[in-house]
Structure 1
Amino acid sequence: MTVDKVKLKALAEAATPGPWGSDGSYVCTARTEGGTTYVESWRAVADSNQMENTKFIAEANPAAVLELIAENERLERCEDDLSASVKYWFNACKGAQFEAGVKHADEAAAKYIDEHWRPQRDQLKAENEQLRARLEQIRDRPCSVHGAPDDAMIPNALDAWGRPVPQHLPYDFSGNPGASATQYCNGWNDAGGYWKNHCIDLEQKLAGISSAEKNG
C-alpha cells in the first residue's frame, strides 16, 4: 500500500486541527486558539465497533497526522544524507584517491621507523653482541689456581657453576678446605658467585633485547 503523503498532508492541513474527543458514540471535532478550545460539531459513528472507532478517529486527528508526516520527512532527509556519504566514500575507496592515501600512510610509517625505531634496534643488536661475548667469557673462566696441576682439586669444593675447585696455592684452606674454597670461589673473584649473579643479569638483558629484535 502506497500512501499519498502529499494529499494526506493537504487534507490534514485543511481539516479542523484538534484536539478531537469522543464519548463512545460521537466524535467531537475541535480547534484550539489562544488557549480556548472551540467545538465545531459532534458526529455519530455508525458502526458495530463504534466505541473503538470513535477513539481511533479522535486520536488520529489532523495534528497527529501532520506530526507523523513531519517525522517521516525528517527520516527521509537523514537517509538521503547517509546515502550520499556512503556513495562518496565508496567511490573514494575504489579510486586513485584511496590508493594515494594508502601510499602516503606506508611512506609515513617507513619514515617513522627509519627515524625512531631502526637506530634503537641497531643499538640493541650491538649491545646484544657485547653482552653475549662477555657472558661466554665469564662462563669459561674457572676458579683456577696459578701453578696448580690440572688434577689438583680441593675435596668437596664446588664453585658457583657447580664445577670442582682446583687447588689455590696462595690461600690456606686447611682448616675447612671444602667450605672455605667454595666460599672463596663464590665471592668477589673472576669465577665466583658475584659473576654468576652478573651473568643472570646479562641473561635477563639479552632476553629483553631478543624480544625487542623479534618485535622489530
Structure 2
Amino acid sequence: MQFSILFAILASTYMMAIAKRLPTLIQSFRYQSFFLSLATFLAARHENSVELLCVSILLFLLKVIAIPHLLLRIVRRIKANENIGLFINTQLSLVCALVFTYVSWAFSRQTLPAAGETQSFMFTVALSVILTGGFLMIFRMKALTQIIGLLVMENGAFLLAALVSGGMPFFVEISIFFDVLISMIILGIFVYKINKLFTHIDVHKLTELKG
C-alpha cells in the first residue's frame, strides 16, 4: 500500500479528531473511506483479484456514498444542532490523536520488529484509526458522532486485517458490509426516535434521565 494513501487516511483521521460540526465530521469520514477504497482497488489491480475489486466497490458504494448520505439526511431531518459538542477541545483532541499515532508506532516496533517500513506504518495507521474512533465515541456528545466513531473503528479494523492476515475471507467481508449497512439503518431510526421523544441527541443530557 502506498505511503501517500496511508498518509491521507491518517490525515483524514486527524480531521475527524478536530471537527466541530457534524457535516465536517461526516465529510472527513467520507474522505477516509474513499482512500481506504482506493487502496483496496490498487491492491486488487496489483494482484489481479476479482474479490478485492468487489470489496473496493462495496467500500465505495457503502462508506463513501450511501452511509455519509444517510448520516447527512438524518442531520437534516431531525434538524439537529450541527455542533458536535466537545468534552475535550479541538487542540487537545489533536494532541490525543498524535499521541495515539506515536503509541501505535512504538507498539508496532515492539510487535513487528522484522516488518518492513510499509507494514510497520500500515500497522501504525490502522491502530491509530481504531484508537481515534474509540476517542470519538467517548469524548463527543452527539449520538451520531458515536455512530461515526464506530464506523471509523471498523475502517481501522479492516486495515489491520489486511495487514495481519492478508485480508479477511471474501464472504466474511461481504457479510460485514451488509451488517454495517443494516446497523446504520437501525441506528438512524433509533437516533430519529430519540430526537422525536427528547428533542435532542446529546448523550450527556440523556444521562439525566437515569435515577
Fold agreement, TM-score > 0.5:
no
* Structure with greater helix percent: 2
Task: Point out which structure has higher relative CO (alpha carbons under 8 A, 6+ apart).
Answer: 2
The structure whose residues are more often strand, as a share, is 1
Q: TM-score range by the shorter chain?
A: under 0.3
TM-score of the aligned structures, taking structure 2 as reference length:
0.20
